[in-house]
Amino acid sequence: MPQDSAPIDPVDLTAQLVRCASVTPEEGGALVLLENLLSEAGFTCTRVDRGGIANLFARWGEKGAARSFGFNGHTDVVPVGDAAAWTADPFGAEIRDGQLWGRGATDMKSGVAAFAAAAIDFVRTTPPEGAILLAITGDEEGDAQDGTVALLDWMATEGEAMSACLVGEPTCPETMGDMMKIGRRGSMSAWITLTGVQGHSAYLHRALNPLPAMARLADRLSSHVLDDGTDHFDPSTLAVVTIDTGNPATNVIPESTRMTVNIRYNDAHSGDSLTRWLQSELDSVCDSFGVTGEMTVKNSGESFLTPPGPLSDLVSSAVQAETGQTPVLSTSGGTSDARFVKDHCPVVEFGLVGQTMHQVDERVDIAHIEQLKAIYARVLKDYFA
């Protein structure tokens, strides 16, 4: 490394990013900070903003290189909630008790800082035969339609491509190095409305109550076994998350009632197959009770799996070397932007212990940030070896 180019401190960079109040969809200065840092290190940087969302693409090396390793992450964060409940300034990046405190410290400004620092140090010391790409969004915690999706759309248009990608989301449940993600369950929600005829509760024959029909539908959906799990996934689940009628009266049969369900599904299903199943259950209940039904579905992402192989082996080996732990290959948890990247190239996820993400007093161990940079640096070294 040149004498005037000291290694990038991932802890200091995390602190700088935490001090950027980048609550979705605000950029907050986080991507400007990274763009300046990466540009100074020789990365070609492009802002890929879309729909009011800020995104950053950075490449070191030639476009179209035969071997290109990518990192993906986000700098946007969820709201702080009740600021008075925090024992530290949510955007102060206070260091206390060996931890860095603040919104986004875990999810996932530390991850972005770690891979940016590892990438900069790597190209300065051992310029690889190939390219390193960073795709960083400000829209992972929001609707996620103008974030990583926008970056991938732009990359396809511009001929930019990753051969493999590592997403830096928090993946470890308990200890650093105990888990990595090789896939994610699909996620979808359905909003169902049943409509009958309003009337007086003393004159049932003049009304058509949609509530018994909704109770039947809720029971049929929630008691149905979608599957028993697959080789790499736990069983799919359906949760009834709310039933709303809004009827304060005790002597009025309501005209309509609404229910929302959320499904987390494995690779035995698709969003389309589950939508067809929901519709058939809805139609059956409507026919039985004589009510009418409407349904709106939003599929947040299909399930996907990167089968165990070269990419998971590469990351697992680096994690084991730096932590002494061999990470479990998991598909658990919610959704991440890996669900978009998987259509572009093989993708896995590895990051910090996520116990405090999205919580009041979110914080991260200083030692874990440094360890994460070392893991990412070893991944790059081994990939380009």
Q: Given phi > 0 = left and psi -120 to 50 = alpha, else beta, which region is 224?
A: beta
Contact 339, 155 (CB under 8 A): no
Phi, psi of 259 (to 5 degrees): -140, 145
Burial 273-302 (b: 16+ CB within 10 A, else e): ebbebbeebbeebbeebebebebebebbbb
Burial 220-234 (b: 16+ CB within 10 A, else e): ebeeeebeeebebbe
Q: Is omega for the bond preceding 25 within 30 degrees of 0, making it cis?
A: yes
**How far does CA 225 lie from the centroid of its chain?**
26
Q: 3-state class of 383 per DSSP?
A: helix
Q: 3-state class of 154 per DSSP?
A: helix
CA distance 25 to 47: 15
Q: 3-state class of 240 per DSSP?
A: strand
CA distance 54 to 31: 8
Q: Which of 27, 76, 169, 267 is catalytic?
A: 76
β-pair type (164-167, 68-74)? parallel
User: What tokens appear for 278 in the block?
Assistant: 């929901």
Active site residue 76: yes
Q: 3-state class of 117 per DSSP?
A: helix
Q: Which of 27, 121, 140, 281 is catalytic?
A: 140
CA distance 367 to 173: 17
Q: Which DSSP string corresponds to 241-260? A: EEEE-----SSEE-SEEEEE
Question: What are the residue numbers of the active site?
Answer: 76, 140
